[in-house]
Structure 1
Amino acid sequence: MIRTLERKLSALQHKAEDAVNRVRDRHLRLAVTGLSRSGKTAFITALVHQLERAAIDGRLPLWDAARQGRLLGARRVPQQNPQIPTFAYERGLGALFAEPPAWPEATRGVAEVRLELRYRTRHPLRRHLGEVSTLYLDLVDYPGEWLLDLPLLALNYHQWSQQVREQLTRPALAALAAPWQLTEQGEPWRPDRPFDEGEVARLAERYTAYLHACKDELGLHLIQPGRFVLPGEYQGAPMLQFVPWVWDPPVGTPAEDSLYATLGRRFEQYKQHLVQGFYEQHFAGFDRQIVLVDCLAPLNAGAESFADMQQSIARIMESFAYGKSNWWRRLFAPRIDKLLFVASKADHVTPEQHGPLVSLLQHLVQQGRGQARFEGITTECLALASIKATEAGRGMAGGREFPAIKGTSLAGEPLLLFPGEVPAQIPSAGWWQGQQFDFQAFRPLAMSPHQAMPHIRLDAALEFLLGDKLE
């Protein structure tokens, strides 16, 4: 009984401290998202490592607080949300500093790490309280695929099923969907079929395999339900065991224990507990947001993959709650007030392609940025590499010199190549006819754990996201 009361008092104390920090503008909750393989885990690992070493051997000249020597240091401290898994920072470092180095294992759900940053303030009001100030920074990692589910809140089971049915008119999708289209007896599913738990679990497994195939074989990103491919702690839960109804619709009202009615209920449970629950528990509490976008892999995969990525980014843009984050809203209803879009893996193209890469990203998020600006939100687009995996160089072919990048493939082979020219805007149909883009995956450069990691413009991202908070 006494221990229970102590835990409750401790939780209330933490909430009170967070509330005071919000009013004083000393607490920032920064969310990091992006679709699979966009580099979220590497970004957070690199960001924490740079902050921990910033006062020792920082490589952050574009961040005013670091360049001016006002950043005194940063350290990890216990997070205030014990229900959220801790970001696997040490494990990520172990992979990056291994021999040979490797990329950190991707996180598959929400994860968090808290940092305490100390700095010399130059703000006239804060200086009355002392020259040294503190900012508590919560970094929250979550899959962008989960944002793609938010539009489901506006749909019922019939409407969502109709959307999927229309998608399956595409031959490539129809071919991948064949394994879950028929029952184990080789017949179409009937809406009045009695519900069977084991049968539906196996059907959901085949549907999940179909979604993975859409991602891995076709390079698609707009996958719904997103939790099916990234279930997190809900792996195997009945809420994740349903499929869209793409067969003959029911006639009249289906029985409560019928297959159709049960799948419809599970769809509604999924929306209520996972989609809306995620928004209420996490998303609505973010102060600032960074969205990582891998523009290169879809260029490599072709027009259909790129168009799907473009549509996915548009869906993600619809999800953000915009609004000025003044002290009153910070305390009672936090809202995102800065939004940074990043074209990740900038080191996988030659330096002169960084400009077109940023321009392409700007075109991808143009409509959403316009809405954000209308609401008074500051936005920016950058091309960066949180951890450099290549070095810029020159190559020779046919007696002619060309710009190139050099590094090591994931298989350990040395590479020297020019990946191609990045289009500065959304590619036209004609562009796909004549262009070949050779995007290669590189493993990280060999690095010393005692030095800050090499990067491209990570300091520019820090200046945009944190610069005004370390004044």
Structure 2
Amino acid sequence: MNRISNEVNKWVNRSLDRHVRLAVTGLSRAGKTAFITSLINQLLHVSTNPRLPMFSAVREGYLLGSKRVPQLDMHVPKFGYDEGINALLSSPPSWPQPTSDVSQTRLALRFKPQKGALKLFQDTATLYLDIIDYPGEWLLDLPLLELDFISWSKQQAQVLKGQRLALAQSWLAMGEHFDPFAPADEALIETIAASFTDYLHQCKAEGGLHWVQPGRFVLPGELAGAPVLQFFPMIWTNKYTEQQLATATDDSNFGMLKKRYKYYQQHVVKAFYNDHFSKFDRQIVLVDCLQPLNAGHESFNDMRQALDQLMQSFKYGRSSMLRRLFAPRIDKVLFAATKADHITPEQHPNLVGLLQQLVNEAWQTASFEGITMDCVSLASIQASEPGFVNYQGKQVPALRGTDIDGNAQTFFPGDVPRRLPNQDFWNRNGFDFINLRPLPQQVDEPLPHIRMDKALEYLLGDKLQ
């Protein structure tokens, strides 16, 4: 009965356009948890100490206040906002822990309607904002819904080059004599799958690579140790024709791999997509362009490929009233280059230009569907202070902050290319990214940020009128 009541409440709020389900999307380490923590914090301070001049509802005074309210999906863990704020307020301050499972939060935003039916019949109205947090690693499983086991295996074989090939040697050697037609050997498959999982961890930790599939292998959540996470791509398909592999029986090694892949695809990935990503109204895609610039050509291209794969997994289309009630679809997307506080302010336009180049194909696709899109650079929680230093008799821009190890730093990280970097950029190796800890915070003040107000205006401004 409660489930039916919750669904009715969702429909009523959607019919009055009073419910927004926001997808905060991004690859691992893009800053999703920091963004959600800052978004909640900024909205909670709108009635007492707002620092959101570009957010029209705050600037013009018709957003009256915000508060956290119980979420409708009681089976989903609550987003750890309090834990994140405590980390930021600690001495020394530290970043909120990235999530290792799905979590959710709900905000109620009370406002004075400015137009439409709400203004005629109500002095005040409430917009309910649902935000889901989830591991970025899981996102990259969504493209698996379009691939069968052999297609996925071929795709994995194609990317085995450079760093990936070097890191894969151990599990490739293990599988060299793997017989797909032999009776299923669960112990052997488990052993090779464990080596494949180690390879994926190394790609992420040592190689600075983003496209790591399957994502649950590196962050399994409640599935740790389950057979559904014990398979691997049949990289050695060039030894056999597809017709030969098709003759493998269900109780063969190949049959077991294929069966586990399909189970993972249908019961893990598809369930995750249906429970969360097929139901969003608005989307912000967070992209960390700076770490890959620092890591090098291969890491940057890998991030670009992962982003392209990711953007193909979302449904876009005009969010009409009927669609909002029965088949909600994303109708507005904001691409945000994160960690803008890690470069000097005059480099921010270059960062936006680089992001526009990175998402150009996704932008074209979404524009064809009539979706409103934009790009912005932002820092969810500011970690540096910009200024100038004297260098060879000239005033040059610089940043001041504290690195993760607690050392004070004054530095110029380098120029950000406005377009996709060419070989000259990589040869110069002219970018130096320093991981900074957050600036010290005051408990009664909103978190310092760069352009969070612009993001809020784009994502929610029209819903608060």
TM-score range with shorter-chain normalisation? Answer: over 0.9
Show the counterpart of 1:390: 384
Look up the SS of the partner of 1:19 in the other structure.
helix
Show the counterpart of 2:129: 137
Question: Would you say the 8 A contact 1:349–1:419 is kept in 2?
Answer: yes
Where in structure 2 are there 5+ consecutive unaligned residues?
Answer: none
Show the counterpart of 1:84: 76
The answer as to 2:362 corresponding to 1:371 is: no
Show the counterpart of 2:204: 215
The answer as to 2:175 corresponding to 1:175 is: no
Q: CA deviation at 1:297?
A: 0.4
Question: Would you say the 8 A contact 1:405–1:417 is kept in 2?
Answer: yes
Look up the SS of the partner of 1:54 in the other structure.
coil
Q: CA deviation at 1:11?
A: 1.9
The letter of the residue matching 1:175 is A
The letter of the residue matching 2:402 is T
Alpha-carbon distance in 2 for matches of 1:362, 1:267: 35
Show the counterpart of 1:108: 100
The answer as to 2:343 corresponding to 1:349 is: yes
Alpha-carbon distance in 2 for matches of 1:53, 1:353: 30
Q: CA deviation at 1:165?
A: 2.2
Q: CA deviation at 1:47?
A: 0.6
Show the counterpart of 2:231: 242
- Residue 257 of structure 1: which of 248, 251, 258 is its match? 251
The answer as to 2:336 corresponding to 1:335 is: no
Q: CA deviation at 1:71?
A: 1.2
* 1:290-329 superposed matches below 5 A: 290-329=284-323
The answer as to 2:177 corresponding to 1:188 is: yes
Q: CA deviation at 1:142?
A: 2.7
Moved more, 443-452 or 115-124: 115-124
Where in structure 1 are there 5+ consecutive unaligned residues?
Answer: 1-8
Deviations 1:45-76 (A, max 9, x none): 11101111111101001000111111111111
Q: Indicate the percent of aligned positions where both proteins have the same amino acid.
A: 51
Question: Would you say the 8 A contact 2:143–2:310 is kept in 1?
Answer: no
- Residue 110 of structure 2: which of 106, 118, 135 is its match? 118
Show the counterpart of 2:87: 95
Alpha-carbon distance in 1 for matches of 2:185, 2:49: 61
Look up the SS of the partner of 2:121 in the other structure.
coil
The letter of the residue matching 1:95 is A
Show the counterpart of 1:45: 37
Show the counterpart of 1:201: 190
Alpha-carbon distance in 1 for matches of 2:363, 2:387: 35
- Residue 460 of structure 1: which of 410, 433, 454 is its match? 454
Q: CA deviation at 1:32?
A: 0.5
- Residue 150 of structure 1: which of 134, 142, 154 is its match? 142
Deviations 1:78-128 (A, max 9, x none): 111122221111111111111000000001232110011101111142122
Question: Would you say the 8 A contact 2:105–2:130 is kept in 1?
Answer: yes
Show the counterpart of 1:277: 271
Q: CA deviation at 1:229?
A: 1.8
Question: Would you say the 8 A contact 1:373–1:379 is kept in 2?
Answer: yes
Q: CA deviation at 1:157?
A: 1.4
The letter of the residue matching 2:168 is A
The letter of the residue matching 1:350 is T
Alpha-carbon distance in 2 for matches of 1:217, 1:161: 23
Show the counterpart of 2:6: 14
* 1:23-62 superposed matches below 5 A: 23-62=15-54
Alpha-carbon distance in 2 for matches of 1:30, 1:63: 17
Question: Would you say the 8 A contact 1:393–1:406 is kept in 2?
Answer: yes
Question: Would you say the 8 A contact 1:288–1:338 is kept in 2?
Answer: yes
The letter of the residue matching 2:210 is H
Moved more, 435-444 or 271-280: 271-280
TM-score using structure 1 length: 0.94
Q: CA deviation at 1:315?
A: 1.2
| Count of residues paired in the alignment | 460
Moved more, 287-296 or 174-183: 174-183
Deviations 1:255-297 (A, max 9, x none): 3322211011101111111222222221110111111000000
The letter of the residue matching 1:66 is V
